A and B are shown apart, each in its own frame.
Chain A
């Protein structure tokens, strides 16, 4: 098999056929293309990096076992990510350090979380600096990782899939089996919370003019 670099993955029927035929290059391509997003999604449900990696490993083992039975009712990617979400949820529930299940079903607090709305959102909304310097960009990356970690799980999964990994809203609805409206609400709350954090950060590093 050739390389998939740059051109993305081939259509699903080719992917499935290759996997069933034992095409290692195809399996490696899927592994390398999707695992990074899978690790991030798993981390929304489990408490450690190690657990997240095990969830991803278990997911791929289930994919290997299940590829012959795959029926193409969903895309391969949706199918893989659904297995991932189910595996991660189960694992998250088992982990003592994980929050109770009810937290997963809660959409999170009001919009005033994370410093939003203090002292008026719109008066004196300052333009943000462009993170040109590599030091600032690196700090912002760390801040974003922390912000994701503080979001309620359902918001975290949605914003991770959409904005970090670049999935479409249709894909996210299929993977999480939620409605488009619900997906949008979760995404919006998550973005609003992260924006609030970034605003606080930029305020704190503001240079005197």
Chain B
């Protein structure tokens, strides 16, 4: 098992969440997280950040642009049926 400092843990959180670490590193991260309250909170905040990023309001094309693209698609098919 690899040992991690708090700073190293923070550097590897994305890799940890993506399951991109080797087994000794993953075990080391888990061991550190299980006994370090600060890093546990940091991980929670990291997860919360990812969650709010996914909560951005939906966007859409303006109606004129959408209409123009639908016409362009229709015309192309008429040119090359």
Interface residues of A (CB under 8 A from B): 21-22, 24, 27-28, 31-32, 35-36, 39-40, 53, 56-57, 60-61, 64-65, 68, 111, 121-128, 131, 137, 140-141, 144-145, 159, 163-164, 166, 169, 180, 184, 187-188, 191-192, 194-195, 198-199
Contacts and interface: CB of A to CB of B under 8 A. Distances in A.
Given A125-B38, A195-B46, A144 B52 contact: yes
B1 interface: no
Interface residues of B, number: 43
20 contacts: A24-B70, A31-B61, A53-B65, A61-B69, A61-B72, A64-B72, A111-B11, A121-B6, A122-B6, A127-B44, A144-B52, A163-B53, A164-B53, A166-B54, A184-B18, A188-B14, A195-B45, A195-B49, A198-B52, A199-B45
Given A24-B70, A127-B44, A40 B59 contact: yes
Contact of B49 (A24, A68, A184, A191): A191
A32 B65 CA distance: 12
B2 interface: no
A181 B66 CA distance: 37
Main secondary structure of the interface of A (DSSP, over half): helix
Interface of B: 6-7, 10-11, 13-15, 18, 20, 36, 38-39, 41-42, 44-46, 48-50, 52-62, 65-66, 68-70, 72-74, 76-77, 80-81
